[in-house]
Amino acid sequence: MHWIIHDWSDELCRSILANIVDAMEPGYPRLIIHESILPDLHCDLPSACLSIMMMVQVAALERVERLWWDLLAYVGLINVKFYQPPGSGDGIVEAIK
């Protein structure tokens, strides 16, 4: 999934992800999400502006790692891993059921 989850509120993301999780077999398939992963502190200006734009335009947001953990755990995904190049707002989130 690429730049889908950031378009929606947590409530709608839970619904989207729950449908995907229902189709997954435990322990086998991996959900790969390519999205922004914002730092907890000292976010760069372009990433911060994108997050504000998402909030204003569609009541959505860019998420920090803690928000990703919470969102994915809520729908039953575990073993969450983050892969992010230094200095980049984009990253890969990987999780299994």
Alpha-carbon gap, residue 75 to 22, rounded angstroms: 9
Number of domains in the chain: 1
pLDDT score, position 76: 95
Q: What is the pLDDT of residues 26-72, one digit of tens each?
A: 888 899 999 989 888 888 888 888 889 888 988 888 899 999 999 99
pLDDT of residue 46: 85
Selected catalytic residue, list 2, 6, 34, 42: 6
Domain housing 47: 5-96
Confirm if 96 and 79 have CB atoms less than 8 A apart. Answer: yes
pLDDT in tens, 8-28: 889 999 999 999 999 999 888
Is 6 one of the catalytic residues?
yes
